[in-house]
Structure 1
Amino acid sequence: MLREATRAGANVLKEEVVSRAPVRRGKLRRNVVILSRRSRDGGMESGVHIRGVNPDTGNSDNTMKADNPRNAFYWRFVEMGTVNMPPHPFVRPAFDVRSEQAAQVAIARMNRAIDEVLRR
């Protein structure tokens, strides 16, 4: 029940990130995923992640080779830029635009789930 609600909110953000992600070969867009896990306090959390990042540390997942089609390690170079490349942010603007809507979707899904449980 809680997982469904958090994933519904994260899906709103994922759609926006995918729509804003630059497309060259499409690898970046294909590797935007929703990851759900239990938080340290026992709750549930879901978030938008880009494959190639270790979700526990936020650093590169160096267990994947760079040419692996599931490894979009370079997303942070696109998002934040480098010395020789200007930034083309797509994650932060997506969050800024859709965070309120994502929260509302998650709350609505949770309320529906609570109503279903109470109707039983």
Structure 2
Amino acid sequence: MASTVKVEGLRALSAAMKELGRKASNRIAVKAMRKGGAIVRDKARTNAPTLKEKVPHRRAGTLKKAIQSKTKVGRNGKTNTYIGVKKLSGKQIEKFKAKAQKGGAYNPNDPYYWRFVEFGTSKMPARPFLRTAFEQTKDQAANAIITTLREEILREGNK
């Protein structure tokens, strides 16, 4: 369930980006999308719940630290920013299992449980933090993207 924001009426902006050349336009688009993504990412970190009481197999703040944003330029030339919870690598999981002689669910650094928090379970109500962060900041992020694009295009054009 991916949510997107689409800003329309930017034909002049698109034409200006094409005039700059592919490298410059990609650099500008990535910079703008990162600024917008950072706004949503920071709000998601603020919304993410933390542990209230101490649990031996969980560490407070693991979920907040794992929320990251990633910006990519696709083969079609579109620039996308993804905000999500970064899981542990296979090496990190195997290292923990070998050292602790326990399953991965006991790893205090693994935020695998984010899905249960975001969407809920049969025994726990949902406490969405990613979806609400997007809904709360999508207009602010879109404005930041547009402002950054405008400034960078003008800066690149004055070179």
Question: Is this a same-fold pair by TM over 0.5?
Answer: yes
Query: Match for 2:80: what amino acid?
Result: E
**Aligned partners of 2:29, 2:134: CA distance in 1, in Å?**
21
| Equivalent in 12, 15, 19 of residue 39 of structure 2 | 12
Q: TM-score, normalised by structure 1?
A: 0.84
Write the distance in 2 (CA, Å) between the matches of 1:112 and 1:37: 21
Q: One-letter code of the match for 1:18? A: R
Query: What percent identity do the matched residue pairs reach?
Result: 26
Structure 1: give runs of 5+ residues left out of the alignment: 53-60
CA distance in 1, matches of 2:137, 2:79: 20
**CA deviation map 1:56-84 (0-9, x unaligned):** xxxxx783623272x31211100110111
Determine if the alignment matches structure 1 residue 74 to structure 2 residue 90. Answer: no
- Residue segments in structure 2 that go unaligned for 5+ positions in a row: 1-27, 52-59, 94-103
Does structure 2 retain, via aligned residues, the 8 Å contact 1:7–1:47? no
Map of 1:79-90 to 2, 5 A cutoff? 79-90=118-129
Higher helix residue share = 2
Number of residue equivalences? 111
Larger radius of gyration: 2
Question: 1:49 aligns to what?
Answer: 84
Distance 2:117 2:148 in 1: 33
TM-score, L = length of structure 2: 0.65
1:1-120 mapped onto 2 (5 Å cutoff): 1-24=28-51, 25-52=60-87, 63=90, 65=93, 66=104, 67=107, 69=109, 71-120=110-159
